[in-house]
Structure 1
């Protein structure tokens, strides 16, 4: 086995380890699983065509992979979200596009890289090929613009009281109304039926060993396309490559910044009729 073959195999292994996170980021960035996966695939194709695109000289495979993604992203003009081909279109996607067009360029990318993927500011600067001061300013602008854009009604599915209280506080401080907190699948379904939310924050493992994933499936079957943010200590259960996958997934323990970002992003993409824009 040649040295070059060993090197290529090692690079492939390093990329494979970070690929689920790139797919998560791409889905959140585009607002679409189909579109996000398309950009992730285009990134891999670019690396295959030119291995130099994957520049991991600083030792971070994740930074190198995300930087390669952004080279592709910039080449295509950093488009806004596209509706999934298999999803019904009822005007919500068009409203989301309208809101996205009003954002300062590059702010959403910087915000997601920081709060969802937890890159440092210097790493974001490298990924986006900008200065660190600019990266910090883009993140600050994104928070201001997205949180000011709309408010809505949020349902929390979480069986741990302290975590539920934290989520209620964060969401309330953002100006949203919490419709209630459910600790089990049955409670979640009942709460959703009695008070329809604009957004669901859901753990995947609940108090009575029921599943938050099943609770969300029950709710969306009855209520339609309600955006969902899964907050879990077991992200691998959801980042499987099988459809459907959540566009927004936060790993416990989470930060206030992560929750604020995901809620703002999800509200931005959903633009449901009850939201105040």
Structure 2
């Protein structure tokens, strides 16, 4: 294979991985803008020196570069020292180092413990231990209220059960944009978990935007069969996103992560 072909293949793979790199980076920082800046910095580093991908798969190498840049920058959540950001930092400070990131890599991004070890720079046994620690610590750290926007009854009931078992209070389930707005105003949630396509062909994204305008900013988790469409970096996009079909662990991990960034004062920590 020629150097030109190899470079083209790597570039194509980087393009395919970029949406998921953004997803991980946004979840680490709790912010679309901050997360996307770190993802862009990782790509720039790789394009400057492709040897950083040597010895591992392209996917593992890309996430390793991103993690290294974010960690070297002090593992920031968001810029600022007050309000939501300060509370998030306070919550995160109580977690075992690297555990939250290990859980994200394993549960949401699908990396093996060996790959996580390579990304973070630890032993495989430590990677496995960190994931177990993170599950315990995050489950016990924060609880609050969750609003579910989902038109498929079985999925809505499944998510409601998962969220309830985590110790959160479900404010209700909305099947349409209008129902979501009414529910959100009747019982203001700490977190919104929304599907993209709703029962009357209305948009979960539009419903969330309407709620944000009325209730103020709060964390949102979108569930979609096409995550790459919401991870372009071209417009306002979610910091937290899980793919259909999802696993129970993906939902639990995403909800735990997002709760750290709640903008309300009702959370119990």
Q: The TM-score by the shorter chain falls in which range? A: over 0.9
Normalising by structure 1, report the TM-score: 0.92
Given that 2:149 and 2:204 are in contact with CA atoms closer than 8 Å, whether structure 1 keeps it comes out as yes
Q: Which residue of 1 aligns with 2:30?
A: 31
Normalising by structure 2, report the TM-score: 0.95
1:259 equivalent in alignment to 2:258: no
Mapping of residues 183-262 of structure 1, within 5 Å: 183-262=175-254
Q: CA deviation at 1:130?
A: 1.7
Q: Which residue of 1 aligns with 2:70?
A: 73
1:13 equivalent in alignment to 2:3: no
Residues 245-265 of structure 1, C-alpha deviation per residue, up to 9 Å, x if partnerless?
111100011111111111111
Residues 113-160 of structure 1, C-alpha deviation per residue, up to 9 Å, x if partnerless?
011111122221222222221111111111111121111110000011
Given that 2:88 and 2:260 are in contact with CA atoms closer than 8 Å, whether structure 1 keeps it comes out as yes
Aligned length: 269
SS at match of 1:170: helix
Q: CA deviation at 1:68?
A: 1.9
Gaps spanning 5+ residues in structure 2: where? none
After the TM superposition, which parts of structure 1 deviate over 6 Å for at least 4 consecutive aligned residues? none
Given that 2:83 and 2:263 are in contact with CA atoms closer than 8 Å, whether structure 1 keeps it comes out as no
Given that 1:154 and 1:178 are in contact with CA atoms closer than 8 Å, whether structure 2 keeps it comes out as yes
C-alpha separation in 1, matches of 2:211 and 2:199: 18
Q: Which residue of 2 aligns with 1:62?
A: 59
Tell me how large the CA RMSD over aligned residues is. 1.7
